[in-house]
A = this chain, B = another copy of it.
């Protein structure tokens, strides 16, 4: 799959279209069909005990899938999540939480991504796995 937006282009898109959350996420690697992002966890993402909350993990998977699609599709602002299935498997370690997402299918109407969340340095002990479907607007 050919790359239409690189890390800098995706970052600019994130900053412009999602200013409220853009400081929460960082691009680690953009190499279609893979995109890896990190959660820059702050107080609001944590549960008592310092564990990253489920909704924060969902948010990381969702945004990573979105930019995984855009990296190949180009700057289309209207793709929307239609389904997510997520399995939480282990407690995250303290430190950075990464998500590596793969674009499995980019059709005319639907895109499907699958990926894993893991604590930095421990990709073989995934904290969670997620699969997401996005609906692509007809004009895209």
Nearest-neighbor residue (CB-CB) of A116 within chain B = B104
A97: min CB distance to chain B, Å: 14
How many subunits of this chain does the assembly comprise? 4
Q: Which residues of A contact B (CB under 8 A)?
A: 17-18, 20, 43-44, 46-48, 53-56, 58-59, 62, 80-90, 104-105, 107, 109-110, 112, 114, 116, 126, 129, 131, 133, 135
Q: Are B114 and A135 in contact, with the CB atoms below 8 A?
A: no
Complex contacts, A56 vs chain B, CB 8 Å:
55
Known: A62-B54, A135-B109. A48 touches B17 (CB 8 A): yes
Complex contacts, A89 vs chain B, CB 8 Å:
82, 104-105, 107, 112
